[in-house]
Structure 1
């Protein structure tokens, strides 16, 4: 099967690259991406990952479509790209399996001139620190040190010195929410192409500055200050070949590893310019550290629900933040839903209309499918993985809708209990788009209250909101970092050590990838 895949890749490259010859750079594409919390009891196994191999990888990158402007600039050699919804720590067996598959495919497309390394940067693995750094070292051992590697990451990833050293061109998103994720990936690819086509290869200098700040993404949104201006300053320090690119990583606060802290990386061919750019951004980051605030008003659960009930704006959106599956939560904490179903305001059908999205419960969904739409169900869901805060929740009501998707896709049911419409899913899920609700017969715009397991709202929900509050609820991605039992991150760290002295933010130059450093 692997031989057939390689042959398929070869013919895809030829069909979409009529000028293909020995002068075109050979660029492979690979990556494993997940954001995983070590403060959640969940474990991510291989079935949580959606893996693309061979030609299917091209579907992930519109800028490499058959009619794109750069498809004919290289011989593209996709190997394996695997991505999972954020979740718990990755099992070591899963990590080893995905890495081994990637390395085997890379070995079969050698020799290479370049590699597009597409990762998230916040993967946690059982018994292993800095998985992305480990992964890249193992990639280097297969493809060699002459290959130019361009890496693209989420700004909530972490950049260890090992990762920075073994890559050559590294960049990350500049917007949170990540509306520029595809633009950033394209930047990583076009920077790689430019260096290969010009013959300049690896940039002469890389600067890496750790910034001892660790904040939740909900406090570092680029929609508001100071994140907006901090990331907005990046283009001003980029100066062609002198400083090719500059990036700021906020890192990921729900993993307890020494690498988890803010980082600035710049690179280019002018040592002084590269160092100056890194120091300028690092000092800017540190200077505004006290100004980071939550992107929306926050409150305890009790305050949030009373505010929503009293409001005449709809939909009034409440973010159930502590178990946000898009940040690494288990997704099945029942603490909030239990309180909703027990609240007297929602006991009767004519109470304030509320949609709750969502809680997983495979057995619940299977039972609902047997009963059918219009039938009554009385069963429990949730808390199969994370029952630290509340047990499985009892949901008793009428089955209003059943969405039975094709194999491999989500199956969900809607149960009406009093004035509450609860979405119960076969697997944990995040509801981001209006269509996620309307295909279940729900109208989120007309609901008095809409509760989603998410932190900062994705653009479609953000545009839909009439009002919004983030409830500080418990879970594996608790927004109150002071409640997390950090044991291994470097200290002092702001804001955990709010009165810490100013750190040394002078430039640290990272050596070239000409030598593999493990």
Structure 2
């Protein structure tokens, strides 16, 4: 089949996609409103590089279909999936004839009854817009790239930094590559896909440190080779149990030999480094790290409560960390070491605190409505320190001071990544002795603020001890589950153009 194409002076491009990390080890379920879907022209509010007047905005006739992004969480319900995807397809079907489509996803969405949801949705999209439309897919590096997803995408790329400081740069690269391909009239790119049987947590593969720093640095070298358009390494998503969950390399371009060699080089680099990957910060048990923080003169001292991290897919309402903290005698008096804890959802607790007002003493119960496997609801008696309404995620936040602990409660779960997340609640994390956050690696603002930092290996739906979680459906052998496995076949698989049938299995 020939793949010659006609250059397009001003392409017509649509934007569509749904994004979430879904932990299958969490009992939580994600409903449609969590995606905060944007439609039509409002889609472009997400992307500064597509603001009116920007080069890429003016070079293209843009159409927004539907884009939705949820906080990481539990498996997406079948009803939510049906409602969102049916609307997305309806909106695409109503658009003018397209030359291209930008598929903006995360890549780790699990849906009740569906494996490889993003590939399934892209198949429906292609059936709607037609086989000639060029699709550029942008993803999180913690997403999963099955052979089917690579096949149905013409261009595909992902973040190159963890934490994801380059997330918007990556999206712009995906769009720019798409526009340049359409304007040039070049044939559909060649795609070299290499699955790497390694599945590690993001906190073990941060590009801040070696070996991921060097593994990912090699991407720029491969991308600079003549005949290569883009190169990408996906770590994969460790907290879901599907056959697609593993590391993957994809290199795209015009030259089959160049993309194959580049993909194999990157895959070998990742595989060869597998034993060297380690946590981005020192780890320990929760009590060990509290003891170390109290003994340390480093202030503020951050502790990551990793097992229930809502930005990795945790339910966010595990109370184990706060319960253990409140038991410690060091923090039971008002003049004890100042501790900030973020956070635990508790809608009823929020109502009680808001009704009582700032300065009131209240007794409230919160948490464990979704994930009660590790601790039950936590009851605390303390003074209402702050109340804040209108947060996009939490909706309403309340700070309750119990002894020297400032516990943040929320109506809905919320990640705490920025300094203003605390200062908006009349909290000063810089002057605190200890700040405990449900997070894995610290996001940039918190990382820069921390003087001391360690990661507590705590329980929850995104437990950092992957082997004890109980994966049953991932492809085996897989490192680190099978440490003595034989060396894998890291030969590049050339994926056919997206308008050709896909043959062979997912290996």
Per the TM superposition, whether the score is higher than 0.5 is yes
1:122 counterpart (91, 103, 108): 108
CA RMSD of aligned residues (A): 1.3
Name 1:341's counterpart in structure 2: 326
Name 2:21's counterpart in structure 1: 35
1:90 aligns with 2:76: yes
**Structure 1 pair 383–408 and aligned structure 2 pair: CA distance change class (3 A):** closer
The 5-angstrom pairing of residues 48-447 of structure 1 reads 48-203=34-189, 205-239=190-224, 242-405=227-390, 410-447=395-432
Shift of 1:239: 3.9
- Which structure 1 segments of 5+ residues have no match? 1-21
2:486 counterpart (476, 486, 501): 501
Name the SS of the counterpart of 2:165 in structure 1. coil
**Structure 1 pair 407–248 and aligned structure 2 pair: CA distance change class (3 A):** closer
**Structure 1 pair 400–172 and aligned structure 2 pair: CA distance change class (3 A):** same
Residues 129-154 of structure 1: CA deviation (Å, up to 9, x unaligned): 00001000010110111000000000
**Structure 1 pair 123–406 and aligned structure 2 pair: CA distance change class (3 A):** closer
1-structure distance, mates of 2:225, 2:187 = 15
Residues 24-77 of structure 1: CA deviation (Å, up to 9, x unaligned): 110000010000100000000112111111111111111111121222211011
Name the SS of the counterpart of 2:79 in structure 1. helix
After TM superposition, the score normalised by the length of structure 1 is: 0.94
Name 1:512's counterpart in structure 2: 497
Shift of 1:380: 0.8
**Structure 1 pair 410–70 and aligned structure 2 pair: CA distance change class (3 A):** same
Shift of 1:515: 2.9
2-structure distance, mates of 1:258, 1:151 = 21
| Contact 2:37–2:68, Cα closer than 8 Å, also in 1 | yes
1:492 aligns with 2:454: no
Name the SS of the counterpart of 2:37 in structure 1. strand
1-structure distance, mates of 2:40, 2:188 = 27
**Structure 1 pair 435–406 and aligned structure 2 pair: CA distance change class (3 A):** closer
Shift of 1:241: 6.0
Name the SS of the counterpart of 1:253 in structure 2. coil
| Contact 1:137–1:517, Cα closer than 8 Å, also in 2 | no
Name the SS of the counterpart of 2:375 in structure 1. coil
| Contact 2:196–2:267, Cα closer than 8 Å, also in 1 | yes
After TM superposition, the score normalised by the length of structure 2 is: 0.96
Residues 137-187 of structure 1: CA deviation (Å, up to 9, x unaligned): 010110111000000000000000110001100000000000000000000
| Contact 1:221–1:295, Cα closer than 8 Å, also in 2 | yes
Name the SS of the counterpart of 1:214 in structure 2. coil
Shift of 1:313: 1.3
| Contact 2:9–2:183, Cα closer than 8 Å, also in 1 | no
Residues 74-113 of structure 1: CA deviation (Å, up to 9, x unaligned): 1011110001000000001111111111111111113110
**Structure 1 pair 73–407 and aligned structure 2 pair: CA distance change class (3 A):** closer
Name the SS of the counterpart of 1:405 in structure 2. strand
**Structure 1 pair 407–444 and aligned structure 2 pair: CA distance change class (3 A):** closer
2-structure distance, mates of 1:292, 1:172 = 20
2-structure distance, mates of 1:406, 1:170 = 33
Q: Which runs of 4+ in 1 moved over 4 A?
A: 406-409
Shift of 1:311: 1.2
| Contact 1:237–1:277, Cα closer than 8 Å, also in 2 | yes
2-structure distance, mates of 1:410, 1:354 = 23
| Contact 1:145–1:516, Cα closer than 8 Å, also in 2 | no
